[in-house]
Structure 1
Amino acid sequence: MAWIALVLAGCVEVIGVIALKQVSMRKSLRSFALLFASFVSSFSLLTFAMQHIPMGTAYAIWTGIGTVGGAMVGMFMYGEPKEARRLLFIAMILSAAVGLKLIS
């Protein structure tokens, strides 16, 4: 259950990044509400996961999901470059997260 909460926390973090971009583009109550709700949800799920998963592992995987998700959202929703080097480093982040899961 803790691993599911951790993955959900990372996914909700990506929603928070999307909301952060929306706030930077147009400051609306809806954008701020989504930003607040997503970050509160993400931190709550991360807190639950850290009760059962070592802190270093949980935090690294949470930030990895957020980093990869944010980069992918940037590429597919906001027209950021899709260079091979960028994709290589994203793959490296994913590999590190899987490695941490395998040894935890």
Structure 2
Amino acid sequence: MSWIFLICAGAFEVVGVTGLNMIRQKKTVLTFSVFILGLAASFTFLSLAMQSLPMGTAYAIWTGIGTVGSGLVGILFYEESKSWKRLLFMAMVLSAAVGLKLIG
């Protein structure tokens, strides 16, 4: 169950960061709500996951999901760069997080 919590934490991290970008574009109650609720849910699920997962592993996976997920949202919805170098480094972030899990 802790891995499901961790995946949810990463997904809500992406929601929170997307909300932050929405605030940058337009300051409304909705955009602030997306930001605050996304991050609150992210930290809640992260704390639940860390009850049975090592801190280093949980944090690495959480940040990896947040980093790559936010990058993909930027590419898909905000016309950010799709360069092969950017995609390569996103893949490296994911592989590092998986590597930490495999050796830990």
Fold match (TM-score > 0.5): yes
Residue matched to 1:19: 19
**How far does residue 64 in structure 1 lie from its aligned partner after superposition?**
0.6
Q: Identity of aligned pairs, percent?
A: 54
Q: Distance in 1 between matches of 2:35 and 2:78?
A: 18
Q: How does 1:55-74 map to 2 (within 5 A)?
A: 55-74=55-74
Deviates more, 1:50-59 or 1:91-100: 91-100
The answer to whether the aligner puts 1:88 opposite 2:83 as a matched pair is no
Residue matched to 2:2: 2
**How far does residue 17 in structure 1 lie from its aligned partner after superposition?**
1.0
Query: Which portions of structure 1, spanning 4 or more consecutive aligned residues, are displaced by more than 3 angstroms?
Result: none
Q: Distance in 2 between matches of 1:4 and 1:93?
A: 20
CA RMSD of aligned residues (A): 0.9
Instruction: List runs of 5+ in structure 1 lacking aligned partners.
Output: none
TM-score using structure 1 length = 0.95
Residue identity in the other structure for 2:47:
T
How many residue pairs align between the two structures? 104
Residue matched to 1:52: 52
Q: Distance in 1 between matches of 2:50 and 2:103?
A: 16
Instruction: List runs of 5+ in structure 2 lacking aligned partners.
Output: none
**How far does residue 34 in structure 1 lie from its aligned partner after superposition?**
1.3
Q: Distance in 2 between matches of 1:3 and 1:97?
A: 13
**How far does residue 100 in structure 1 lie from its aligned partner after superposition?**
2.1
TM-score using structure 2 length = 0.95
